[in-house]
Amino acid sequence: MRLDNPWFVMALIGVIGWFHVKLLADFLNLRRLSDSVPESLNDVVSEEDHLKAKDYHIDHARLDVLSEAAGLAALVGFWWVGGFQWLALQVQGLGWGSISSGLLILGSLVVASSLLNLPFEWYSTFKIEAAYGLNRTTPGTFVADRVKGLVMACALGGPLVAGILWVLANVQAAAFWAWALTSLFGLLMTWIAPRFLMPIFMKFTPMEPGELRDAILALARKQNFPVQEIYVVDGSRRSTKANAFFTGIGNTRRIALFDTLLATHSTDEIIAVLAHEIGHAKLGHVPWMITAGLLQSAAMFACLHFALSDVRFYEAFGVQGTLPALGLALFSIVWKPWSVVLDILHGMLSRKHEFQADEYAKVAIGTGEPLISALKKLSRDHLAHLTPHPFYILLHHSHPPVLQRIQALSA
Ligand SMILES: [Zn+2]
């Protein structure tokens, strides 16, 4: 025990405390699962759908607790037996350069934690989601997605991490420049991801001409919102859950609609969902969220600066000497639970934006009705928890619960 070391105390309380806070939120949230459908939703959500959603949430919560407990046990166990120091010695023994051995340390920790998660992801997809008729992923797609993800993480994350390690070793005010590098990378990714990365996972097909396409273009014209292309995405290859999103900024906006949304919603409802998305763009929500993200990462790098320059930080994890790459991994252990405070603020901003975009759609269309019926269908088809606990919302929700949105839209 190193109870006189503030980093040790902070990491241990953070890791164990956060586990219990999440457990409490899960417990409170499950207790709010009611037997009867709330009145304003019973025209779309049947009693049978509702009971199915209840079991679905219980099954997912059980799996979540198991996977969180396994992750916690693995982390604390590895920490307890001096695993971090052992890893550092193994890698140093290879005699590689500081950046390549840093990448090896971080890479092996990332791979180990992904392998630990893998059985839980598999169970979630092929047991729970499948049992409730939501899964469309085949084992082939599941494996291919992981392999593609790994290749992408190496190809894109590798150079970024190498850059950060180089900055940490060679530059004055390293935390600031590491933040600048990460921010630049993030902004670049928002441009690259929809163009080059998402098509690796999903197929984007231009929408066929017809009534829906005309209606979308008419809405975009009326809202003075330039649309370059409308795509249909094959979301049905993975899940029955529906979605719609925009990509691109400025004059190159593309609309992407999941085929699953088209299959279950009327033209009016789809137009309402898109009006909501246009609302996000028109109300400047994207720059707000990007700014919030930059501030969050600035706070993280500022704290990282203090951690990496303090030898007690390494001692807290049983590591002798200072090794920036290992420092990054150890810092993420301390940062994750405490940064929840920032995540909560982020979630509050995001939920506020959702209400504003709903209001925008209502004004744009002249009525809230089609969006209300779209939200009801989405909640039914996603087996949403209709009455989540406020504490659970605070921790986990980027969107307000459907009842609150319907209430605001009907006002
Ligand atoms: Zn939204």
294 Cα–ligand 1 center, Å: 21
255 Cα–ligand 1 center, Å: 14
Structure confidence by residue, pLDDT tens digits, 163-173: 999 999 999 99
The runs of H, that is alpha helices, within 309-388 are 311-315, 324-338, 340-365, 369-381
357 Cα–ligand 1 center, Å: 6
277 Cα–ligand 1 center, Å: 6
Residue 245 has pLDDT above 80, yes or no: no
How far is 64 from 40, CA to CA, in rounded Å?
30
pLDDT of residue 237: 87
pLDDT of residue 215: 95
Span 317-343, mean pLDDT? Answer: 94
80 Cα–ligand 1 center, Å: 43
Per DSSP bridges, beta strands 229-233 and 244-247 are: unpaired
276 Cα–ligand 1 center, Å: 6
151 Cα–ligand 1 center, Å: 31
Structure confidence by residue, pLDDT tens digits, 262-294: 999 999 999 999 999 999 989 999 899 999 999
201 Cα–ligand 1 center, Å: 23
Average pLDDT of the residues of the chain: 93
Span 181-200, mean pLDDT? Answer: 89
Structure confidence by residue, pLDDT tens digits, 44-75: 999 998 999 999 999 999 999 999 999 999 99
Structure tokens at 189: 């990714």
Burial 371-399 (b: 16+ CB within 10 A, else e): bbbbbbbbbbbbbbbbebbeebbbbebeb
Say which DSSP state 244 is in.
Answer: E
pLDDT of residue 220: 92
In this prediction the pTM is 0.90
Give residue limits of the domains in the chain. Answer: 1-134+277-411
